[in-house]
Structure 1
Amino acid sequence: MQAENVNISKTGMYNLYFIFCDPQLKGLLVDGTTRWKNPSGYLPGRMAPLMTFYGLMSLAYLVLVAAWMSQYMRFWKDILALQNYLTVIIALGMFEVTLWYFEYANFNVTGRRPIGITFWAVTFGSVRKTLSRLLILVFSMGYGVVKPTLGGLTSKVVVLGVTYFIASELLDVFEHVGTINDLSGKARLVLVLPVAVLDAFFIVWIFTSLSKTLEKLQARRMIAKLELYRKFTNALAVSVVISAAWIGYELYFKATDPFSERWQSAWIISSFWNILTFVLLCIICFLWAPSQNSTRYAYSDEGSENFDDEEGLPLKSGMNIELEKVNAMKPEKKEKKISNTDVFSLNEETEEDKRE
């Protein structure tokens, strides 16, 4: 059969159906191919905006990398382990969005999804999502700030990370690699459900750990670290609220558009998660930007760790000034005052030992 061209003059969602009315044709198999091409290329209309989106995201990550690395190289002597992990996550994010851009660009030119590029884009994304969640979790536990190791929790964190990576990789591979149409509802539900459950588990564990870490920092009066963790907690809380609201909107969007009549704006649903992730990453990078004061957030087992330096120095100086005034006014009670001062210091150490 000779190929036939059908010109489309009106923008819209089109489907091709083969219909027969002759009962004798029951069980007939039709073999052939169809080729769909838009004026801008082979990308389907609902996927075409994604190429531009990932191109812009690549530029955004490039700016973030430039800003982060400028600070990283400037204060490389004061870099913390957590900042090294952040560097890896930023690099993974940049590679991911860049691969997605080239994947859509190649698809737009050839009309076929390049399996190799798509697979690596999916894999980089799964690794980035897994490491991001693990980094937030261990930071919430106080790793590198309040305690030097995770202790017995290390194995549990690793198991959770490996499980999440496998679930996320399976979902993204089946959804993107070599496919154009969305997965069916049942197939997608089977793959989405484990990822959703693991995400919920991450959220609960993260905020539980943050609560304990904040209490510990407040008890030890580590003011600088406490302020950092409060800002970090607020950023996470806002992102969780926004995520929950967007999930509700996504469910509403799909429930009210069963025939994909709003296909021109469907790309926003998936793109939003990339934007939210990037914004949260920028906030974390801002809070943990390399600087000459980075080491004050690092864990230290010295006794001075129990009190924040910024708060401790003025208090100590003030006490010395008051003692000097009292000693000058009442020299005959100098020995008694010194004795009281020693008792006061001993009580502070005792209280600190109790907190520890």
Structure 2
Amino acid sequence: TKTPDRASENVTDVLDPENLKKILASDPRPLAVLDKDGIYMLIVSISSEDEKNFTVQVDMSLKGTYGYLSAVDWPFLPFYGVMCGVYVLYAIGWLLVSALQWRDLLRIQFWIGGVISLGMLEKAVYYAEYQSINYTGYSVQGAVLFAEVLSCLKRSLARLLVIIVSLGFGIVKPRLGAMLHRVIIVGGAYFIMASVEGCLRTLKPKNNPDHLQTFLGVGLALVDSGICWWIFSSLSQTTRTLRLRRNVVKLSLYRHFTNTLIFAVLASIVFMVWVTFDHRTVECLTDWKELWFDEGYWQLLFSVVLLVIMFLWRPTNNNQRYAFTPLLDAADDEFDEDFQQPANDAFEGMKMRGGKPGSLPSKDKQDNNSAEDDLKWVEETIPSSLSDTALPSLMDSDEEIMTVRFERNKME
């Protein structure tokens, strides 16, 4: 540390704006020069010669070779710059493929576009804030709070996106029904809690214990755990439904999506264990330059998961194969009813042998008698071997029935 003789000058002369300008103009050298990044303590001692009470305003400026950002926060500047560029590429790529297939876009794909837009705006605001601090040395509190609220909104929307995808909205079922209110309540609760916790974390000094912030952090962890359980239980039900319907295309899509979420959960658990033992439980933190990674890791993990979701649900020429089809993706009861309908139509007018005598109206007895005569003639005339041979052609397999219904749906 080098301390010039000017540090012993009269304090009142140094604090005077005019004298300060003259001093900086004549000798721009700082009061102290540090040749190594680190954590330092600056002690300022001011005493009065006549021992009277006085008020002193001290303006302290700490500037490195790269700007006013501290060594702990400086890595965020290039990090958010790179992340902003990544989200710009995400947005451009998603916009191009969506424009090519704009006629067949799914509602899920609009949700993905909204998450990308919020992520791009969030990273741009954070980068602008750190760039402003590095250039001027002052932090605009309103911009920081705005960026934090944007981040909470993006995280909430992302969780809602994963929930509605796991529920099969737009792919297995046409609407969420009563489940929509639960989704909105969970998303709103998470957004409110995350916004309050983020604003408190931004406004209050770091490493300053606060009971409300701790309570909100625990609440967010519980809400995240509940959302995680809801997502995987819904995915289990959705994949089971697709297996019953033998929809191989959608089942493969959901299997890849489930594997991606499992990877994200495992990566989160491993990182939290590492942070706990490496940064939280140590008495002397030596790798303080890596503290920025505690926050940057979650941004990187989210961007990777979002990229996988974009790839799985990208707009293609066969985009509608992932969409909900009213005939193919109806509910189980509707499916059974539609499956039995062709048989009912084919055998309409035949006598039900299990029915009670006299259950039919008297005006239909003559028609039924003629139908019985026709059946009797068929049994006597057509050999049983011929009927056994022709019967399988009339009773289509499940795959053929599904194909026929899909073709009918396209014609309609």
The normalised TM-score by structure 1 is: 0.82
| Greater helix content | 1
SS of corresponding position for 1:43? coil
Name the counterpart of 1:70: 96
Give deviations 1:207-253, integer Å, cap 9, x for gaps: 01001111111011011000000000000000000001111111112
Distance 1:304 1:129 in 2: 31
Question: Which range moved further: 193-202 or 257-266?
Answer: 257-266
Preserved contact between residue 37 and residue 71 of structure 2 (Cα < 8 Å): no
Distance 1:147 1:333 in 2: 44
Distance 1:252 1:288 in 2: 38
Name the counterpart of 1:41: 67
Taking a change above 3 Å as real, the CA distance of residues 187 and 264 of structure 1, as seen in their structure-2 partners, is farther
Distance 2:55 2:217 in 1: 34
Q: 1:342 aligns with which of 394, 399, 410?
A: 394
Taking a change above 3 Å as real, the CA distance of residues 5 and 43 of structure 1, as seen in their structure-2 partners, is same
Name the counterpart of 2:379: none
Instruction: Write the mapping of 1:223-302 to structure 2, written as runs, cut at 5 A.
Output: 223-302=248-327
Give deviations 1:277-300, integer Å, cap 9, x for gaps: 000000000000011111111111
Give deviations 1:7-64, integer Å, cap 9, x for gaps: 22332111235699xxxx9xx9986443322221111111001000000111111111
Name the counterpart of 2:372: none
Distance 2:42 2:211 in 1: 24
Preserved contact between residue 106 and residue 113 of structure 1 (Cα < 8 Å): yes
In structure 2, the gaps of 5 or more residues are: 1-10, 16-29, 332-382, 402-412
Distance 1:30 1:156 in 2: 57
Name the counterpart of 2:156: 130
Please, what is the CA RMSD of the aligned residues?
A: 2.8
Name the counterpart of 1:13: 39
Instruction: Write the mapping of 1:118-197 to structure 2, written as runs, cut at 5 A.
Output: 118-177=144-203, 181-184=206-209, 186=211, 188-197=213-222
Distance 1:285 1:332 in 2: 58
Q: Which AA in structure 2 matches 1:338? A: A
Distance 2:100 2:218 in 1: 44
Q: 1:84 aligns with which of 110, 120, 126?
A: 110
Q: Which AA in structure 2 matches 1:300? A: T
Q: Which AA in structure 2 matches 1:202? A: I
Preserved contact between residue 140 and residue 206 of structure 1 (Cα < 8 Å): yes
Name the counterpart of 1:61: 87
Please say which structure displays the higher CA radius of gyration.
2
Distance 2:77 2:122 in 1: 13
Distance 2:311 2:281 in 1: 39
Q: Which AA in structure 2 matches 1:134? A: L
The normalised TM-score by structure 2 is: 0.71
Name the counterpart of 1:218: 243
Preserved contact between residue 109 and residue 313 of structure 2 (Cα < 8 Å): yes
Name the counterpart of 2:25: none
Alpha-carbon distance, 1:305 to partner:
6.7
> Is residue 95 of structure 1 aligned with residue 139 of structure 2?
no
Distance 2:312 2:197 in 1: 32
Taking a change above 3 Å as real, the CA distance of residues 91 and 303 of structure 1, as seen in their structure-2 partners, is closer
Distance 1:49 1:253 in 2: 19
SS of corresponding position for 2:178? helix
SS of corresponding position for 1:132? helix
Preserved contact between residue 173 and residue 330 of structure 2 (Cα < 8 Å): no
Distance 1:342 1:125 in 2: 59
Distance 1:338 1:296 in 2: 34
Q: Which AA in structure 2 matches 1:71? A: V
Taking a change above 3 Å as real, the CA distance of residues 51 and 180 of structure 1, as seen in their structure-2 partners, is farther
Alpha-carbon distance, 1:66 to partner:
1.6
Give deviations 1:132-173, integer Å, cap 9, x for gaps: 001100110111111111121111111111100011111211
Name the counterpart of 1:313: none
In structure 1, the gaps of 5 or more residues are: 307-330, 350-356
Give deviations 1:262-287, integer Å, cap 9, x for gaps: 22111111100000000000000000
Q: 2:131 aligns with which of 105, 121, 125?
A: 105
Preserved contact between residue 222 and residue 305 of structure 1 (Cα < 8 Å): no
Q: Which AA in structure 1 matches 2:252? A: E
Alpha-carbon distance, 1:95 to partner:
0.6
Preserved contact between residue 45 and residue 263 of structure 1 (Cα < 8 Å): no
Preserved contact between residue 98 and residue 315 of structure 2 (Cα < 8 Å): yes
Count of aligned residue pairs for this structure pair: 318
